[in-house]
């Protein structure tokens, strides 16, 4: 069975401080990992996916198969980063996503 774990429900950081949102997964095959973000009163949207290896809004995430992790990082947090972040997983050849419980990031001015 596939599972995504986000151990932190809430993460508060000061503006300008580094951010790391943790995500660990359990999957028997080769997973596709994603980070989705939901800003206040907006729809859920894709932030980044591991296969793209890109940086969006200063965020990066590296898939570590040895540690089965896909932590989301940003070197300097900004107030507009405050949102709900969901880590998600899908298997090869599949559309279906399994979501973590989400982490609420609060950036303190």
Member of 53, 94, 106, 108 binding other proteins (CB under 8 A): 94
Q: Which residues pair with 24 in a beta bridge?
A: 5, 69
Give the list of residues 6+ apart from residue 10 with CB closer than 8 angstroms, or none: 103, 104, 106
Q: Rule CB under 8 A: which of 24-53 touch other proteins?
A: 32, 34, 36, 42-46, 49, 51
Chain position carrying tokens 């973000």: 37
CA dihedral 51, 55, 60, 64 (to 10 degrees): 20
Q: What are phi and psi of 80, to 5 degrees?
A: -70, -5
Q: Name which of 43 and 66 has its Cβ closer to other proteins.
A: 43
Q: Name which of 26 and 76 has its Cβ closer to other proteins.
A: 26
Q: Which stretch binds other proteins (CB under 8 A): 11-19, 21-29, 60-68, 87-95?
A: 87-95
Member of 83, 98, 105, 107 binding other proteins (CB under 8 A): 98
Calpha distance 96→109 (Å, rounded) = 37
Member of 14, 66, 96, 109 binding other proteins (CB under 8 A): 96
Binding residues for other proteins, rule: CB under 8 A, are 9, 32, 34, 36, 42-46, 49, 51, 86, 90, 92-102
């Amino acid at each position: 069975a596939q599972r995504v774990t986000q151990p932190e429900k809430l993460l508060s950081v000061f503006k300008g401080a580094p951010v790391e949102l943790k995500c660990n997964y359990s999957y028997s095959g080769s997973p596709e990992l994603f980070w989705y973000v939901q800003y206040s009163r907006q729809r859920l949207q894709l932030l980044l996916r591991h296969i793209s290896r890109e940086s969006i809004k200063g965020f990066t995430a590296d898939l570590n198969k040895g540690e089965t992790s896909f932590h989301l990082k940003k070197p300097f947090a900004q107030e507009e980063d405050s949102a709900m972040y969901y880590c998600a997983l899908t298997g090869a050849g599949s559309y279906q996503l399994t979501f973590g419980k989400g982490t609420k990031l609060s950036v303190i001015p």
